[in-house]
Structure 1
Amino acid sequence: ERIRTTDELLGVGGTKQGRKELSEKTGISETVLLEWVNMADLFRIKGIGEEYSDLLKEAGVSTVIELARRNPENLQETLVGVNEAKNLVRRTPTLNQTKDWIEQAKRLPRKVEH
C-alpha cells in the first residue's frame, strides 16, 4: 500500500501504532515519520504550505495543537525574527494571516496522536 497524499499520510501515521507499523514497513524512523505527519497536519490550514510550515517549525511551532495555543502578536513577531535570521520565506506572514492560522488551528479536528 502506497501513501501518495498528505491526507493518506495523516490517516496512516496519525496514531502511534500507525507510525510504528509504517516504520517497520519502510525502515523510516518513527521520529521522522512524526515530523512528516505534523507537517502534513499543518498543511490542512489554508495558507500554510511547505515554506510557512518550515518557518513555523523554526519558530517553535511544529503541530496544529501548538499553533492553536499561540498568541498571534507574539508568534508574528517571532516569525519575523526567525525569517530575518534564516531567510526562509520571501514574505513573512502578516498579523492577520497569523491570526487566521491560529483560529483555523483551534477549529480543526485533531488528527494526530502524540
Structure 2
Amino acid sequence: MRVAEERRLTEERRVAEERRLAEEWRLAEERRLAEEWRLAEERRLIAERKAAEENRIAEEKRLAEEKRIAEEKRLAEEKKQAEQKRQQEEARRAEEKMQAEIREAQENERRKQQ
C-alpha cells in the first residue's frame, strides 16, 4: 500500500509539475504575443507619423511651388504693365513733340504770311 501511495503522490507531483510548466509556458506565450503586438503597434504608429510628416513636407513644397509660380506671374504682369506704361509715355511724348512741331510750323507759316 505504501508503494501505491508513493506512486500516486509521485504521479500527482508529476501532473502538478506538468500543469505548472504548461501554465508558465502559456503565460510566457501570452507575454511574447503581447510584446509582439506592442512592437507591431509601435511600428504602425511610427509609420503613420512618418507618412504624416512626408505628407506635410509634400504639402509645404506644393504650396511653396504655387507661391513661387504666383509670384513669377505677378512679376511678369508688373513688368508687362511697366513696359506698356513706358511705351504709352513714349508715345505721348512723341505725340506732344509732333504737336509742338506742328504748332511751331503753323506759327512760322502764319508769321511768313503776315
- Shorter-chain TM-score: which interval? under 0.3
Q: TM-score, normalised by structure 1?
A: 0.17
Instruction: Give 1 or 2: higher helix fraction.
Output: 2
Of structures 1 and 2, the one scoring higher in RCO (CA 8 A, sep 6+) is 1
